Amino acid sequence: MAVPAVKTMHWEVFPSMSTRRVYCTALYQDGQVFVLGGCSETGLPLDKVEMLDVVSQKWTGLPPMPTPRAGAAAVVLSKQLLIIGGMNEEQSPLGSLEVFNMDEGKWEKKAPLGQPSMGITAVKKDDKVFALGGMGSDAAPQALVRLYDPARDQWQSLPPMPTPQYAASAFLRGNKIYVLGGRQSKLPVTAFESLDLETRSWTRYPSIPSRRAFANCTMTEKCFYSLGGLQQPGPHNFYSRPHFVNTVEVFDTDQGLWTKQSRCTRMREKRADFAVGYVGGRVVAAGGLGNQPSPLGSVEGFNPTKRKWESLPAMNCPRCSCASLQGDNMLFVIGGVSQGPSNAVEALSVRESS
C-alpha cells in the first residue's frame, strides 16, 4: 500500500459541540458521528447526546440518555446505539444498558449487566456485543467477558480474561478479539491476550515489553503498536520520577513476537494520554500530554515504507483525554481537555487528489 505524501494530510475542523465534555463516548456510522455522555465542566456525568452529519457539518441534539454517565462503552448496531456501564453522579460504576432506536427516536432500557462496571471495552461482531473487563464497585479490575444478544435481550458469560483489567484496548481481527494494555487500579497492564470466538478460548501472547501508564495502542494490517505513555518508577529504577516517553513497541503477527525497535523508530515527541489511529497508511499520534505545561497540539505519523516518524499538520485545538474514533479513512478527535473540558471536534484525513 502506497503511503500518501505528508502534504495530502490535513485537519478538517467541524463546528463545536454544544456541550464541553471529557470522558465522553463516540461512535461513527454512515457519515454520522454520535457523542454520548461524558463529564461536564462541573465534573458531573452528562445525559446529553449529539449527532454530527459529516457532510453538512451540522449538529443535531438527540433525546438525552435515561441515565447520565461518563466513561461508558458503546457500539452502534444497524439503527441502534447501545451504551453500557460507565460512571454515575456518585462516581459509582453502572450496570445498566440503554439503547437508542434511531427510527423511533427514543431510548429504551434493556437487560442490565450482572455486575456494575466502568472502563469496559466493547467490541461488536455479527450483531452481537462483547463487553470485556471493567472496574467494579470495589474498585477492583474485572476479568469478566459478557456477550449481549440484542435479539433476545440477554447477557451470556464467556470464559474470563486471563488478566483482570479495565480501560484496555481491544481489536477485532477475523474471529479473534485481541486485548492489550489497560489498567489495574493505578498500575498499567502489559498483558496481551486474544479470545477465539469460535473455540471461546483465550491465548496469551508475549507481554508488552515495557510498562507505561496512559500509553495508547492501535492495529495495522499486520502489527499491533503500543505507543508513548508515562514511565513510572519500578523495581529497577525505584528512585526515578515518572517521566513521559516516546517508546514505540510493535508486535508482528507473522513472527508472533515484539520486534526490537531502534532509536529512529521512536516517536519524535514524548507524549501520553493522546489520540491514536491508523490513517492514510500511517500510525498517527495526536496531541496528549508531554513535557510542556499545557496539552500538545503536535501530530506525527509513522511511515512504514520509510520506517520513520514524520511531522503531520498540528491539531487546531491542542488537547488531551480526547475521545477518538475512525471512519471513512478519517481520525476524529472529540472533546477532551484543553484548559478545561473542550467542545472541539476535528478530523485528520487524506485530501483527495483532484
DSSP annotation of 101 = E
Tell me what pLDDT residue 259 has.
87
Tell me what pLDDT residue 124 has.
97
Tell me what pLDDT residue 234 has.
67
Say which range, 43-57, 80-94, 309-323, 340-354, has the weakest mean pLDDT.
Answer: 340-354
Q: Structure pTM? A: 0.95
Instruction: Tell me if 1-16+214-353 shares its fold with 65-213.
Output: yes
- Specify the 3-state DSSP secondary structure of 241: coil
Q: How do residues 156-215 score in pLDDT, each as one tens digit?
A: 999 999 999 999 999 999 999 999 999 998 899 999 999 999 999 999 999 999 999 999
Mean per-residue pLDDT for 96-122? 97
Q: Is the pLDDT of residue 354 over 60?
A: no
Tell me what pLDDT residue 204 has.
97
Say which range, 115-129, 134-148, 235-249, 333-347, has the weakest mean pLDDT.
Answer: 235-249
Q: Supply the mean pLDDT for the chain.
A: 94
Tell me what pLDDT residue 239 has.
57
Tell me what pLDDT residue 241 has.
82
- Spatial distance between the Cα atoms of 52 and 16, rounded to a whole number of angstroms: 10
Q: What are the domain boundaries of the chain? A: 1-16+214-353, 65-213
Residue that wins the pLDDT comparison between 353 and 352: 352
DSSP 277-328: EEETTEEEEE--B-SSSS----EEEEETTTTEEEEEPPPSS--BS-EEEEET
Write the class of the CATH domain 65-213.
mainly beta
Tell me what pLDDT residue 185 has.
86
> Which regions of 126-270 does DSSP assign to beta strands (E)?
128-132, 145-149, 154-158, 169-173, 176-180, 183-184, 187-188, 192-196, 201-205, 212-213, 216-219, 223-227, 230-231, 243-244, 248-252, 257-259
Mean per-residue pLDDT for 34-63? 97
- pLDDT band at 62; cut points 50, 70, 90: very high
Tell me what pLDDT residue 236 has.
60
Tell me what pLDDT residue 237 has.
58
Mean per-residue pLDDT for 123-145? 96
- Spatial distance between the Cα atoms of 145 and 147, rounded to a whole number of angstroms: 7
Options 2.120.10.80, 3.30.70.1140, 3.30.530.20, 3.90.1150.10; CATH for 1-16+214-353 is 2.120.10.80
Tell me what pLDDT residue 15 has.
98
